[in-house]
Amino acid sequence: MKITVMGPGGVGGYFGARLAAAGNDVTFVARGAHLEAMRKDGLRLDSEIGKLHLKPVKVVADARDVDAADVVIFAVKMRDTESAAEHLRGLVAKGAAVFTFQNGVESAERIGRIVGRENVVPGAARIAANISAPGVISQIGKFALIEFGEPDGKPSARTAGFHDACKRAGIDATLSGNISRTLWAKFAMLAPFSGMTALTRGPIGPIRRNPQSRALLQAAVEEAVAVGIALKTGLNPDDVGKTMKLIDGLPNEMMASMCHDLLAGKPIELDGLSGAVARLGRQAGVPVPTHTFIAQALALFAEGKPAA
């Protein structure tokens, strides 16, 4: 299968490398020091699931330099969604399907406005990984999985084909019959997890152990689930307990990518996480004071480290 990876970071880099190692024709679209390191020394996975050094790799700076693809793994930061999607018009015109694994719940709609909604397959990735150094993806924990499916829940040739490629590569991949619920179930975990680790500048373990910070985490989960219920996404009240159980199962040292970005002085995906809960909550008439507080407290860092 011919695969193009837009955004070879923790998600795109990890899963793209696994697919390439399995014999698929994978081209990575990267930039900056990460691009140069991949050109020089390939792509390394420092992973608890299995280390990998992929060399050489096919890597370009612009998706418009790729001739054709069956699948595009779309995993750029949310702030780059529209600009990255613009570069995919040519590949989509030649038949590529865009499988989006971005954070948040608005990705498919945003990409679809540019390349056509019918050309986008929504998906969710669950993995603790980040670019630890140019050309190196570090992954912790024993889980690294993706789930995707057509918006109407029906099977299709493109989802079946990509699912088969993932399974052949040893990737834990699942076809979802209700992708809306899948996305919101992840979102109800990720927005609170990202907000709290970024807010405290630290891993999830201490947050869970302290009664007061745990209460704030619980409130953030309750708000995200309430918004999902109000918007008829497939969530239900039982998802609060399920989400807290999932968070309690995360490695103590795990931090969200938003926390890693904040500590590195990079822009953070605030608007698509706690910012989105606050925005969608207001639209749905659901009180969201915790996510509003998180969004306001981190607003200073939304565009990266503020000037003194």
Omega prior to 56 cis, within 30 of 0: yes
Show which of 138, 159, 177 is a domain's final residue. Answer: 177
Are the C-beta atoms of residues 291 and 195 closer than 8 Å to each other? yes
Report which of 172, 131, 141, 127 is spatially closest to residue 48, judged by C-alpha positions: 141
Same domain? For 156 and 203 the reply is no
Q: How much is the pLDDT for 18?
A: 98
Which residues are registered as beta bridge partners of 226?
Answer: none
Q: How much is the pLDDT for 308?
A: 80
Q: Which residues contact 140 (CB under 8 A, 6 or more apart)?
A: 48, 128, 129, 251, 253, 254
Task: Tell me the three state secondary structure of residue 126.
Answer: strand
Report which of 38, 6, 16, 273 is spatially closest to residue 144, judged by C-alpha positions: 16
Instruction: Kindly state the tokens that stand for 183.
Output: 């996305």
Q: How much is the pLDDT for 206?
A: 98
Of the CA atoms within 13 Å of residue 163, those in its CB half-sphere come to 16
Range of the domain at 240: 180-301
Task: Tell me the three state secondary structure of residue 185.
Answer: helix
Show which of 130, 156, 177 is a domain's final residue. Answer: 177
Same domain? For 123 and 13 the reply is yes
The stretches in the chain having pLDDT less than 70 are none
Please write the tens of the pLDDT for every residue from 80-92: 999 999 999 999 9
CATH of the domain at 293: 1.10.1040.10
Q: How much is the pLDDT for 79?
A: 93
Q: How much is the pLDDT for 307?
A: 84
Q: How much is the pLDDT for 141?
A: 86
CATH of the domain at 109: 3.40.50.720
Please write the tens of the pLDDT for every residue from 111-147: 999 999 999 999 999 998 999 999 999 998 888 999 9
Does the model's pTM come out above 0.75? yes
Q: Is 306 among the domain residues?
A: no
Instruction: Kindly state the tokens that stand for 157.
Output: 């040739």
Q: Is 246 among the domain residues?
A: yes
Same domain? For 145 and 190 the reply is no
**Could you give the CA distance from residue 123 to residue 175 in angstroms, rounded to a whole number?**
9
Q: How much is the pLDDT for 209?
A: 97
Of the CA atoms within 13 Å of residue 268, those in its CB half-sphere come to 32
Q: Is 107 among the domain residues?
A: yes
**Could you give the CA distance from residue 36 to residue 223 in angstroms, rounded to a whole number?**
42
Q: Is 91 among the domain residues?
A: yes
Q: Is 307 among the domain residues?
A: no
Same domain? For 297 and 255 the reply is yes
Same domain? For 53 and 151 the reply is yes
Q: How many domains is the chain built from? A: 2
